[in-house]
Amino acid sequence: MAYKIVVTKTFSKNVLTVYNYLQSEWHQKIADEFIVILLKHIQGISNTPGIGSPAKKTAVRKLLITPHNKLYYRINSQSIVLLTLFDTRKHPNKNRYE
């Protein structure tokens, strides 16, 4: 049984930021490929929630999406809550889940 996916405002904002950056600095095709990769990983989390490794913060898991982006999520009884998409090039102190 696949878990229901719940998206937070922070996650949506972060995805939009990355998408707009890729679109403006690289190319539309690269931005679209990023979304396809992200959706495949989200589908994988929905089907197998334990694929991500535990983050330092309790009950939060992380999954590397691209070399520059980590997805942080929480598993609830019937759903997966996508918390944030963190740019790994940012200073580690800005990551509240590690």
How far is residue 81's CA from residue 31's CA, in Å, rounded to a whole number? 23
| Among 23, 46, 93, CA closest to 71 | 46
Residue 53 pLDDT:
85
Q: For position 86, what pLDDT does the model report? A: 86
For the chain, 98 residues long, the average pLDDT of each consecutive 10-residue run is: 89 93 91 94 91 83 91 91 86 66
Is 69 within a domain?
Answer: yes
Q: Which domain holds residue 23?
A: 4-89
Cα distance between residue 55 and residue 63, in whole Å:
9
Please report, for the domain that includes residue 70, its CATH number: 3.30.2310.20
Give the total number of structural domains in the chain: 1
